Structure 1
Amino acid sequence: MYYNLTKIQSGTFSTVYKAWSSTLERYVALKIMSKSKYSANGVANEYNIMKHLGTGHPNVCSMLDYYEDNDNYVLVLEYCECGDMYDFLAIAKSQGDALSPSIIELDFTKILRQLVSAIKYAHSLGIAHRDIKPENVLLTKEGNVKLADWGHATLESYSKDTHIGTDNYRAPETFEDRDAYNTYKIDYWSLGVTSLYLLFGQCPFKNLSIQNSSSSSFSSSSSSSSSDSSMDSIDVDDNKIVEVNSYLEGSNFLSFVKDPNAFIYRYYLAPIMNVKNGKIFSYLDSQVPLYRWKDMVNNYNLFYLSKVIISTLICIEAEQRSLHKFHKLLNKICTDSVNSNGSSMVPSHKLKNAYSLNKMDLDYTSVSAQNIT
């Protein structure tokens, strides 16, 4: 039996409640899906995926039970006290110093390592998540994360399904109605975009849409590691340019394709004004106040993390994405920072001179992805 139901969130197809389980003697989350809106096949897929995942991984939100009645399907899931990272960071941004420091100081690199662990675990079981985003990263009161919402997950390593995920976090190949894509590689991309959101509080890509997506084709010569690539790296028939522009209308994705390094610098790094007292003051827009991560005090790990993310995860060429390289470089950043008190993580240009830089030409050689095998 479940008591004291309190609504946590509501979506198009489901509503999630916090409830007390008298059987388990703990709080759980009830994901209630209406039979009139949610297909039986969709529920069966999510149930089978979560049953396959089991309850053995600390960074995967586990299914504890399942039942249904005349009107609803119900998944009984682990309850995470602090909600999802999207809402948590939104509250932190809106309240700033009004929040207790103990609440908003989190170990960012630990969170990334836990997400990597969850994804590796799922992939080892042949499961691709296909909808990694801050809303699906749940936070416990101990500051740990759990990857949740496996409704789009699949046991197929390759798929042609374009009706998956959340547009702004989707890999470019999923917008194409052509060849089958590697489902594991799209998880790497989504992890990269999610990492940038968690780090800076803003998704790098805006207004991506699957409208007219069948007309787009991303050239195999395009690469996130190529800083001198041009807009021509989008390989499109001349007769379809108008359609492609419509597909990307309002999006800044083409700017990223042209020069990923410069894009990340202009969008994220240049607006950083100051680092002091363990607080990173960021002005990405007038609505974004300070951010605080306890493991980024008085060093510039964020410069290197940004470079690592775009060189190992957010690569236009799917084959260049590597969770192994990302994890290894992430561990190197943590180790170097501890061993040298952050000194080796300082880029060649001082932060005070950042406004004079027109492109992201910081020295990242100490964490070059090409040196990792």
Structure 2
Amino acid sequence: MDLRWSGEQEAIFEAAREFGREVVAPSSEERDRASRFDHGIWKALAESGFWKAGVPAELGGDGGGLANYVAALEGLTLGSQDSGFSVTVGAHASLIQVLSRWGTAEQQQRFLPDLFAGHVGATAATELTGGSHVTAVRTTAEPTGDGHYTLSGSKSHITNAPVADMMLIVGRVAGLGKRDISLFLLDRGQEGVSLGENEDLIGLRTSPIGPIDMDRVHIPPERVLGSVGDGLTVLYWCLALDRLSFGVIASAQMRSMIPRALDRATSREAFGAPIAEYQYIQDKIVQMKVGAETARALSYATLSAMENGDADAGTLASCTKLASAQAIVGSSLELVQLFGHMGYDRTQGVERHLRDAAAFRIAGGTDEMQKKAIFSQLLAASRSNSL
């Protein structure tokens, strides 16, 4: 695995970082306080060509691999220092990547141009009864003949749902048997589709999240993504990409904390010396660096496995999500501690790092679910003598 970028990826990273710094960052604190998604910024991001990174040229993309998208996401996060906006970007990009790989030519022509141009996408698996157990869905598609269905059910806590223009819905097909998980493409204004209000969360407040309700929504054959009953193949790949994205975002966010932590440690004095001279303060900043580099290395290991189609890509994605989530929570807590009362004061902007970080141990599959997935893979490998 090579963590070095090509010249093209370096350029993508720098352009995304500049966009984040110049366009996203200036209004980030205000949007966090208001829990607001800014359509103007989203449109500007689309106009910058961001969404074409890592999409085949014949579909309107830059013709690069998935690493191009990862370089763009890392740059955007580092420049904007807005984890919520980056999480929304990651959710949208996942839909683009899935359509690029599994969509029919008709689906690609119908949806990708709009997703490139500023429409917002969402992927909806989670339900109140299932939580992180994505295969425990109750949303059901009833066959009506000739490959048509009516889809009913509810999705909860879906990133981008309140502002989504199109959605990929995970559901079951009634009467199909055990292999019944299937994927359906829906539009915002489609009859029977209802999008709920943005949830009032403590962190990631610049990322809209909410429910999607479906009441006998008509699904023609051309709105089924992939093969009926084979949705898990696509869903597991999408989950791996989401967890990789969380790792990239966490790593970049931790990197952005370090200069602020160093400035505080070298300018704040205690007992007649800068606090940077005390080893227990040094340890806090060192752990931020270790966490950032660990998350980044695991992210790129997952990227390599996904690009090569390795069987352990899903396990690596869970390792990435678990390690990066725990690291960013620890780093954010230490940053608040470094600033003392100022770190706890909402007017200083330090505590936001901790509020945002808390979501990383829940969103995209909880820490406990990642551990379960990793252990299950280890046990299966042991039984097949392939460890």
By the TM > 0.5 criterion, same fold?
A: no
Question: What's the TM-score bracket when you normalise by the shorter of the two chains?
Answer: under 0.3
TM-score by length of 2: 0.25
Q: Relative contact order, CA 8 A, sep 6+: which one is greater? A: 2
Which structure carries more helix by proportion? 2
TM-score by length of 1: 0.25
